[in-house]
Amino acid sequence: MLLLCLTGMPLIFGHEINHLLGNEVDPPVMSNNTPQASMDKVLASAKALYPSRVVQFVFRDMDENNSWTVSLGKTATSEDDTKFVKVDSRTAKVLQEPKFNEGFMYVMFKLHVDLFAGLPGMLFLGLMGVLLVVAIISGVVLYAPFMRKLEFGEIRKDRAPKLKRLDTHNFLGVVTLIWALVVGTTGIINAWADLVIKYWQFDQMSAMTAPYKGLPPPTQFASLQASVKAAQAREPDMRLGFIAFPGTDFSSPHHYGMFMRGDSPITSRLFKPVLIDAQTAKLTDSREVPWYLATLLISQPLHFGDYGGMPLKILWLVLDLFTIAVLWTGLVLWWKKRQHFQPEIQQRIAFDEAYVTR
């Protein structure tokens, strides 16, 4: 848990740290009414750098309106050695090649999400989350007997260090209780992300692409800009979040998967898939996000605290620090108590041995 709290801290400020480290470059400032370039041009600029690669996704941050990042892999589904190219969406000029799969933030992210162990690592951390929730609930049960003779927030600073530590643990624990429960529970939900997405692909995506089953993959592709227009016409009140290219896990060999999002903090998380025929640029299907995927998507901001701007990020950091203090004081209390009982145990063992030898 301590590792999760420590690695979670830089992730709260991931965007800012990436800027400081030079891993993210902002597009140049231009007039607000500068028109957007064609998506075909944006794609061509990225592909020109890696002509032998296959485009997997085109995406942007939710607060970014002037750039697209294109990911290019060895195949449509390969995950190793993926190249990323950030392109200005107004001029279609390449801005940079961000390194999302190396460096400090990547290490922090992997330690926080799966301990570099893939799905087993994610599920293991999910189990740790369950234990955290159990620890919090047991802490609430133990809170009452410890606080019977104390007023709320009383810390016996002038008494033994053990009592001060115990009071600090109880006080910080009970005040951060709901926040820690929410972050812990949403962390458990996030640990199931890969499996939930796999189920969504099996449940929804396979049904959406069923009419194309068994057909040979297209040899010629329609204009990406025309495909984006078709998706935008289907969802005029939403904006494009990311595009999954044909053959990736979020589309089919025959489709562009256009994932549309709303503008509010909550609807911007709920990606709505719009499938566009990759050969004709015509709309094929579009469905609402099912409840299990919506639960996963809504749990993410509640876990990462990235939905209320800088004030919320700072609060998340402070509450994270308090949680570290709760964990640390709890650990020290447990260790000291163990040390306290150890001589007695040693004595009992010695007594038993002496008794047996007689």
Partner 1 sequence: MQIFMWPIVLGVLTMIGLVMTLLLETGWFELVSISALALPVIVMIYTYYFRDVIRH
Q: How far is the CB of 140 from partner 1 (least distance, A)?
A: 8
C-alpha 249: how far from chain center? 18
CA distance 240 to 259: 6
**Contact pick of 59, 212, 307, 328 for partner 1 (by CB under 8 A):** 307
Angle of helix 118-147 versus helix 104-113 axis, rounded to 10:
70
Only one of the segments 7-15, 57-65, 101-109, 306-314 lies at the binding site for partner 1 (rule: CB under 8 A); that segment is: 306-314
- What DSSP string runs through 198-246? HHHIIIIIHHHTGGGTTPPPPSS---HHHHHHHHHHHSTTSEEEEEEPT
Residues 53-92 that bind partner 1 (CB under 8 A): none
Phi, psi of 227 (to 5 degrees): -65, -40
Nearer to partner 1, 6 or 312 (CB): 312
Closest alpha carbon to 272 in 283, 258, 252:
258
Q: Are 353 and 345 in contact (CB under 8 A)?
A: no
CA distance 137 to 94: 51
Q: How far is the CB of 186 from partner 1 (least distance, A)?
A: 10
Nearer to partner 1, 100 or 143 (CB): 143
Residues 140-199 that bind partner 1 (CB under 8 A): 143-144, 147-148, 152-153, 155, 157, 168, 171-172, 174-179, 182
Considering only CA atoms, give the Rg of the chain: 26
DSSP secondary structure letter of residue 32: T
Nearer to partner 1, 241 or 262 (CB): 262
Only one of the segments 124-132, 273-281, 310-318, 344-352 lies at the binding site for partner 1 (rule: CB under 8 A); that segment is: 310-318
Contact between 9 and partner 1 by CB under 8 A: the answer reads: no
3-state secondary structure of 193: helix
Query: Which position has the token pair 């993210």?
Result: 24
Only one of the segments 129-137, 249-257, 314-322, 348-356 lies at the binding site for partner 1 (rule: CB under 8 A); that segment is: 314-322
Nearer to partner 1, 143 or 221 (CB): 143
Query: Which position has the token pair 């800009």?
Result: 225
Q: How far is the CB of 51 from partner 1 (least distance, A)?
A: 43
Nearer to partner 1, 171 or 271 (CB): 171
**Contact pick of 10, 98, 121, 265 for partner 1 (by CB under 8 A):** 265
56 class by beta-carbon count within 10 Å (0-12 exposed, 13-18 middle, 19+ buried): buried
Nearer to partner 1, 226 or 321 (CB): 321
Size of the chain, expressed as the number of residues it contains: 358
- For 298, the token pair is 């809504």
**Contact pick of 32, 311, 354, 356 for partner 1 (by CB under 8 A):** 311
**Contact pick of 112, 322, 323, 327 for partner 1 (by CB under 8 A):** 322
Q: Are 98 and 69 in contact (CB under 8 A)?
A: yes
Residues that bind partner 1 (CB under 8 A): 143-144, 147-148, 152-153, 155, 157, 168, 171-172, 174-179, 182, 264-266, 298, 301-302, 307-309, 311-312, 315, 318-319, 322
